[in-house]
């Protein structure tokens, strides 16, 4: 799937109040803004038209816009996070996406975060995590099936979301942590397995023919260079402190 647009949101001054299991200390807001600006510039370098929303007061995780929707060429599915504190983020994202796609929504008792959804060609992996349950996965599966997609659920045994551990890097290849290196659901794909000390780099973002990866992961970069794609490194230190990564900061469509 090739992308032409992206939706992002500026991190608010209260971003340190967001949900995190990290022990890396609080993020520096000014530095996070600089990193966010570099991220948006990178999306534009990859040919995307980027919409930047203002911070959403009272929702310190709202800059992780990917969790609010799953956007396919045919439809945008609005999510319902398993984290109750984040459910108010969807409305403003929905208002923007409705100009580009017809929309559907996950409803109770279903929960779903966009960070648990990975589309590879015509197949959609749905991670079952603390944020995404069977009801939400089944609702999404029924929606995408009507457009000809196949789908599979995968239990998330480590990390916040499925895409914390598994991402497509093109050429029928997945970048995975060791937890998913031999997972039977991924057997149809080539896999690049991350070194244990570089697992954060598993959240690498494929934009058209470019791979955007967090900076500072030399072993992972060396492995990705074999794919003969343009590699762009972006500093993500402040977002990592809040359990966020490159895919989290945008919705691409």
Active-site residue set: 161, 248
Long-range Cβ pairs for the range 212-216 (8 Å, 24+): 212/42, 212/46, 212/246, 213/246, 214/240, 214/245, 214/246
For residue 234, which of 71, 44, 67 has the smallest C-alpha distance? 44
Angle at 102 between CA 97 and CA 107, to 5 degrees: 85
Q: How far is CA 196 from CA 76, 201, 222, in A?
A: 35, 10, 15
Distance separating alpha carbons of residues 137 and 128, to the nearest angstrom: 8
């Amino acid at each position: 799937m090739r992308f032409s647009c992206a939706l992002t949101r500026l991190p608010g001054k209260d971003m340190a109040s967001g949900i995190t299991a990290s022990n890396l200390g609080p993020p520096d807001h000014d530095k996070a803004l600089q990193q966010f600006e570099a991220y948006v510039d990178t999306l534009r370098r990859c040919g995307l038209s980027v919409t930047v929303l203002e911070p959403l007061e009272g929702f310190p995780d709202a800059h992780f816009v990917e969790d609010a929707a799953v956007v396919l060429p045919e439809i945008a599915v609005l999510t319902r996070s398993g984290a109750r504190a984040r459910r108010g983020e969807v409305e403003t994202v929905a208002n923007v996406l409705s100009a580009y796609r017809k929309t559907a929504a996950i409803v109770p008792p279903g929960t779903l975060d966009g960070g648990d959804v990975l589309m590879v060609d015509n197949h959609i992996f749905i991670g079952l995590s603390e944020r995404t349950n069977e009801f939400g996965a089944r609702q999404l599966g029924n929606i995408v099936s009507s457009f000809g997609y196949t789908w599979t659920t995968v239990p998330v045994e480590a990390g916040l979301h499925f895409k914390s551990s598994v991402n497509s890097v093109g050429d029928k290849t997945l970048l995975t942590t060791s937890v998913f290196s031999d997972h039977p659901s991924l057997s149809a794909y080539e896999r690049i397995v991350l070194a244990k000390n570089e697992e954060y780099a598993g959240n690498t973002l494929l934009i058209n023919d470019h791979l955007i990866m967090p900076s500072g992961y030399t072993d992972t970069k060396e492995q990705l260079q074999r794919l003969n794609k343009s590699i762009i490194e972006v500093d993500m230190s402040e977002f990592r402190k809040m359990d966020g990564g490159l895919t989290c900061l945008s919705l691409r469509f």
